[in-house]
Amino acid sequence: MSTQNCDQLMEKQIIYTESAVPVEKSTRSVFTSQTGQVLVALGTLFKHVPPFNESIDNSTSETLISIGRKLKSTK
Which pTM was predicted? Answer: 0.64
Per-residue pLDDT band at 63 (split at 50, 70, 90):
very high
Asked if 65 and 45 touch (Cβ cutoff 8 Å), the reply is no
pLDDT at 32: 92
Per-residue pLDDT band at 74 (split at 50, 70, 90):
confident
The string of pLDDT tens digits covering residues 36-60 is 999 999 999 999 999 888 889 899 9
The string of pLDDT tens digits covering residues 16-27 is 555 555 556 788
